[in-house]
């Protein structure tokens, strides 16, 4: 049991003590892409070999969360605690075990596999949410504590009042990372002011956007960070119970979170009277069922309550009438993952990163026709061009870049000509896309934009819960219309109808799914109109 | 008609698992989705008998249980084939040609996505996104992920499964 800030620091120091722990670490990435190439087997093998060579006193082998550069999987880092040095190796496969034993013995690096860490992919990133990803062992709470884990929570409990915590978050300017961008501090303040005996803290880990895996990586690589953020939210808002709603398709995230919650309970970091402060907080994981609409706030609440994930009219907002009719704070995984760092370093520090209206960093999943696919965290305000060409290494092959899709089925396509705009909530909204949760898909000149729009519309159509007519009927009709365009059988009146119907679905749908479903069509019409007209509208 | 008693969980270990989840959550109505997850895990799919059992134990109308089970894509009401191939249809996979892979598989094995072949050997499933976008296009062959798939390879891998 950890009962005070002092005891927390003792645990951290014990773990950091070089006399008691190994001086070196081999960090094998067990994120989704590396795991798909067999990194778990490699990890087991390596651990066995290191032990049989009696090198385990000197070097600890551990599995770590996503390192970022997924296209170079499997990634392995060799870390020296003395001097804080790290060599990163890429494209490792299961045959390299012996070479690592040699490296440990001779201290000469594996030259041909060494990854250049001076390239912009590494240097242009700024890590806050992912600060521990690729570094700590997600199964080991002590490892988290040794990296300043739970320091923020204990500081809150011992030194800050709930109002001071909220003020700090407000100062930071943190906005919801699920895509909407609502100021987190304001949200907390509203809930904290509501009088109620029972309030809830809920985390949205139902990452339904196809092409996005940021939250998955955070939950798998650093589950304690989410727990810490939620516990601080509980303290600030006066809630003693929280739920993490995770997609059932992410079994590893579920496993890591459950394990982390268990460990935290055992240490007295979750439970009653945390650090003798009178504050109690506990968490449970709830599984989603693969319904995209459950990313919508009221649907998510309905799903946690065990119902079909149908949304309802707002207001009343969740801050008054949320989970089990009680006041509820709902934030995204990445939002909670920012909280601990803000408390540790201060709101001022956080607001100095990024732009004045979009502070801090954003995690993106870079995918599609781009060289460096993977997970990156960049300061807000960076231009899309830097993100795509410097960090992402530009499009693959000889093909020219055509468009970038952000925000998934609720977002839009940005043409190559607009790559110089800064990445922040407002700029992206102004040009008809959205920040979204962070999926960023690069498309080269071979991509047909009408087909892309149809792909998303088809997605929304099959994910529509069917409660309201504009969304249920509208998305089906729009899919049929887009089919006509792809078949080159559309008339001029079809084109007018397409645009009209987009507006109707947008204006009259009940929830965010329907309201944003036409975005991919509208943005492709705006920037790639000729692809709709070509071969069509000849009547 | 004989009403089946609800104490199957005392003898059948699969029902026992389901019962355990409900007990853990105090037989509250909100335990429904968690219970369905456990049931699918222990039975492989959700058959009517199981849904009725859950309805009785949680004191919910059967229509409600059926409604929830059919709302979420994750729940299967039919048994899976001996082998499964899950083709990821996330955006990253889609723009790298996952739709063509799925179409080819459907044609080759005479089965529609979401269904099982007549001989019960192969279920073909399309997934929203498996979260391994950097390996796009990707498919899971009996849970083994194979990334950067080509059309031919996608078929070959499936054939290999069936020959096992």
* B7-60 confidence digits (pLDDT tens): 888 888 999 999 999 999 999 999 999 999 999 999 999 999 999 999 999 999
CB interface of A with B, residues 202-221, below 8 Å: 207-213, 216
Confidence grade of residue B118 (pLDDT, cut at 50, 70, 90): very high
CB interface of A with B, residues 475-504, below 8 Å: none
Q: Once rounded to an integer, what is the mean pLDDT over residues B117-145? A: 89
pLDDT for B4 equals 55
Residues of chain B neighbouring A35 (CB-CB closer than 8 A): 145
Q: Count of CB atoms within 10 A of residue A316's CB?
A: 12
- The list of chain A residues with pLDDT below 70 reads none
B29: nearest CB among A216, A288, A306: A306
Look at A306 and B32 and tell me if their CB atoms are within 8 Å.
yes
Query: With pLDDT > 90 as the criterion, what percentage of chain B qualifies?
Result: 77
Please check whether residue A441 touches B, CB under 8 A. Answer: yes
pLDDT for A179 equals 80
Q: Is B46 helix (H, G, I), strand (E, B) or coil?
A: coil
- Tokens 């067990």 correspond to A30
Cα(A461)–Cα(A471) distance, integer angstroms: 8
Look at A37 and B33 and tell me if their CB atoms are within 8 Å.
no
B31 to A420, B14, B26, B35: CA distances (angstroms): 49, 17, 8, 6
Please state the φ and ψ torsions of residue B46, each to the nearest 5 degrees.
Answer: -105, 105
First to last CA, chain A: 77
Q: Are A210 and A164 in contact (CB under 8 A)?
A: no
pLDDT for A177 equals 93
3-state helix, strand, coil in chain A (%, to 5): 45, 15, 35
Cα(B105)–Cα(B152) distance, integer angstroms: 10
Look at A213 and B129 and tell me if their CB atoms are within 8 Å.
yes
Look at B91 and A73 and tell me if their CB atoms are within 8 Å.
no
Type and span of the H or E element at A343: helix A333-345
Q: Nearest chain A Cα to B70, which residue?
A: A308
B46/chain A closest Cα distance in angstroms: 14
Q: Count of CB atoms within 10 A of residue A462's CB?
A: 13
Look at A208 and B30 and tell me if their CB atoms are within 8 Å.
no
Q: State both tokens at A68.
A: 């970022």
Q: State both tokens at A24.
A: 């070196």
Confidence grade of residue B3 (pLDDT, cut at 50, 70, 90): low
Beta-sheet pairing, A439-444 with A401-406: antiparallel
A161 to A188, A236, A271, A525: CA distances (angstroms): 14, 8, 19, 51
| Nearest C-alpha neighbor of A168 from the set A428, A415, A350, A346 | A346
Beta-sheet pairing, A374-379 with A412-415: unpaired
pLDDT for A47 equals 95
Type and span of the H or E element at A455: helix A449-463
Cα(B123)–Cα(A297) distance, integer angstroms: 33
How does the average pLDDT of chain B come out, rounded? Answer: 91
Look at B95 and A291 and tell me if their CB atoms are within 8 Å.
no
* Contact partners, residue A107, CB within 8 Å, separation at least 6: none
B103/chain A closest Cα distance in angstroms: 15
Q: Once rounded to an integer, what is the mean pLDDT over residues B139-160? A: 92
Query: With pLDDT > 90 as the criterion, what percentage of chain A qualifies?
Result: 86
Cα(A261)–Cα(A243) distance, integer angstroms: 11
Query: With pLDDT > 70 as the criterion, what percentage of chain B qualifies?
Result: 97
Look at B138 and A441 and tell me if their CB atoms are within 8 Å.
no
Type and span of the H or E element at A224: helix A223-237
B129: nearest CB among A210, A286, A447: A210
CB interface of A with B, residues 219-278, below 8 Å: 248-250
* Contact partners, residue A218, CB within 8 Å, separation at least 6: A129, A130, A133, A225, A226, A333, A334, A337, A363
Give this prediction's pTM.
Answer: 0.95
Q: State both tokens at B8.
A: 């199957």
pLDDT for B5 equals 62
């Amino acid at each position: 049991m950890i009962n005070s800030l002092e005891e927390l620091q003792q645990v951290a120091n014990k773990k950091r003590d070089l006399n008691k722990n190994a001086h070196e670490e081999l960090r094998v990435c067990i994120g989704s892409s590396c795991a798909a190439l067999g990194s778990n087997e490699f990890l087991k093998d390596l651990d066995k070999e290191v032990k049989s060579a009696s090198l385990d006193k000197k070097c600890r082998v551990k599995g770590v969360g996503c390192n970022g550069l997924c296209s170079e999987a499997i990634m392995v880092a060799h870390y020296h605690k003395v001097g804080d040095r790290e060599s990163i190796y890429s494209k490792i496969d299961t045959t390299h075990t012996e070479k690592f034993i040699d490296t440990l013995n001779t201290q000469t690096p594996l030259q041909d596999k060494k990854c250049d860490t001076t390239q912009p992919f590494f240097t242009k990133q700024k890590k806050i949410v992912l600060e521990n990803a690729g570094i700590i062992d997600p199964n080991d709470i002590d490892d988290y504590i040794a990296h300043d884990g739970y320091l923020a929570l204990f500081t809150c409990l011992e030194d800050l009042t709930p109002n001071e915590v909220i003020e700090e978050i407000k100062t930071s300017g943190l906005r919801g990372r699920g895509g909407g961008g609502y100021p987190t501090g304001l949200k907390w303040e509203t809930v904290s002011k509501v009088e109620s005996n029972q309030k809830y803290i809920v985390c949205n880990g139902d990452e339904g956007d196809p092409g996005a895996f940021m939250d998955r990586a955070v939950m798998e690589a650093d589950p304690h960070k989410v727990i810490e953020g939620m516990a601080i939210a509980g303290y600030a808002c006066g809630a003693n119970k929280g739920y993490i709603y995770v997609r059932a398709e992410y079994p590893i995230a579920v496993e890591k979170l459950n394990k982390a919650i268990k460990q935290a309970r055992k240490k007295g970091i979750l439970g009653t009277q945390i650090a003798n402060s009178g504050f109690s907080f506990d968490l449970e994981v709830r599984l989603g069922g693969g319904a995209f609409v459950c990313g919508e706030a009221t649907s998510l609440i309905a799903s946690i309550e065990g119902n079909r994930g149908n949304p309802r009219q707002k207001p009343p907002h969740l801050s008054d009438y949320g989970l089990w009719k009680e006041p509820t704070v709902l934030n995204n995984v990445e939002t909670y993952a920012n909280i601990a760092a803000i408390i540790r370093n201060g709101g001022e520090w956080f607001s100095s990163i990024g732009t004045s209206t979009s502070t801090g960093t954003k995690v993106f999943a870079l995918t599609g026709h781009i060289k460096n696919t993977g997970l990156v965290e960049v300061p807000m305000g960076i231009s899309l061009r830097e993100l795509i060409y410097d960090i992402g290494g530009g499009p693959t092959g000889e093909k020219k870049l055509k468009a970038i899709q952000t925000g998934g089925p609720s977002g839009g396509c940005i043409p190559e000509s607009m790559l110089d705009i800064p990445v922040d909530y407002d700029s992206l909204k102004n040009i008809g896309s959205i920040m979204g949760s962070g999926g960023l898909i690069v498309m080269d000149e071979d991509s047909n934009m009408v087909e892309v729009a149809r792909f998303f519309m088809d997605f929304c159509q099959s994910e529509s819960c069917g409660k309201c007519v504009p969304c249920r009927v509208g998305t089906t009709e729009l899919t049929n219309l887009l089919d006509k365009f792809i078949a080159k059988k559309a008339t001029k009146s079809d084109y007018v109808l397409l645009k009209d119907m987009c507006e109707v679905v947008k204006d009259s749908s009940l929830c965010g799914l329907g309201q944003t479903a036409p975005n991919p069509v509208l943005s492709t019409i705006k920037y790639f109109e000729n692809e709709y007209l070509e071969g069509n509208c000849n009547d | 008609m004989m009403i089946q008693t609800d104490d199957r969980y005392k003898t059948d270990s699969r029902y026992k698992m389901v019962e355990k989840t409900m007990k853990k959550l105090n037989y509250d109505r909100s335990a429904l989705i968690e219970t369905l997850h456990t049931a699918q895990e222990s039975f492989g799919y959700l058959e009517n008998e199981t849904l009725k059992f859950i309805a009785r134990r949680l004191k919910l109308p059967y229509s409600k249980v059926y409604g929830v089970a059919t709302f979420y894509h994750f729940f299967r009401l039919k048994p899976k084939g001996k082998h499964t191939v899950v083709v990821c249809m996330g955006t990253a996979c889609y723009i790298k040609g996952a739709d063509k892979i799925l179409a080819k598989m459907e044609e080759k094995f005479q089965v529609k996505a979401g269904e099982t072949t007549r001989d019960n050997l192969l279920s073909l499933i399309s997934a929203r996104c498996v979260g391994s976008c950097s390996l796009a296009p990707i498919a899971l062959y009996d849970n083994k992920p194979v990334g950067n798939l080509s059309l031919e390879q996608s078929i070959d891998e499936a054939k290999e499964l069936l020959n096992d």
